[in-house]
């Protein structure tokens, strides 16, 4: 092995060690972000589907567990969702919106779900004449030891919402 190879290897080890120490000093968690994506094919044009799900508080009309939704009227808007049984409240802030792409993104300000750093997007795209695809996706970090619970809860929510949307456009 040549001396220059040894210096390169030593430099790489030093950089890796410094980076590791920096992450530890900053308190960076080793928890990895997870993601979830669910889609449904819908018998409706993107414009028709977007008119149902596009308004930020319309979620109360297509997500069965949601009993009420109120917006704060600010920019960007924050909505407060309360489940029909009153047992859970979610506070969510819209972080992005594109009427052209028929999509919006939001994040949890507070939620009873065992997740942090939750960022979600819902989008409607054309699939064919008179047909659309609705895609709901997110990235999040599950609370330690609650990974399975978090994924199951989010999957249940996404499935309930997407199934309802599909049923509204059944022909």
Tokens, residue 49: 């589907």
Angstrom CA distances, 127 to 1, 53, 132, 169, stand at 58, 17, 5, 14
CATH superfamily of 31-168: START domain (3.30.530.20)
Q: How confident is the model over 60-112, as pLDDT tens digits? A: 999 999 999 999 999 999 999 999 999 999 999 999 999 999 999 999 999 99
The alpha carbon dihedral of 68, 47, 153, 91 has a sign of: negative
pTM over 0.85: no
């Amino acid at each position: 092995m040549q001396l220059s190879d040894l210096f390169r290897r030593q430099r790489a080890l030093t950089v890796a060690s410094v980076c590791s120490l920096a992450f530890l000093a900053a308190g960076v968690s080793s928890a990895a972000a997870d993601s979830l994506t669910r889609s449904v094919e819908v018998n409706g044009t993107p414009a028709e589907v977007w008119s149902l799900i596009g308004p930020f508080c319309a979620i109360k009309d297509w997500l069965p567990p949601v009993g009420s939704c109120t917006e704060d009227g600010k920019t960007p808007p924050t909505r407060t969702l309360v489940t029909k049984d009153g047992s859970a409240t979610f506070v969510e802030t819209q972080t992005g919106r594109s009427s052209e792409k028929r999509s919006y993104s939001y994040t949890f300000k507070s939620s009873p779900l065992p997740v942090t750093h939750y960022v979600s997007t819902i989008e409607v795209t054309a699939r064919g004449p008179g047909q659309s695809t609705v895609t709901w996706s997110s990235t999040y970090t599950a609370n330690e030891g609650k990974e399975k619970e978090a994924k199951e809860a989010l999957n249940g929510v996404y499935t309930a919402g997407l199934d309802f949307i599909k049923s509204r456009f059944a022909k």
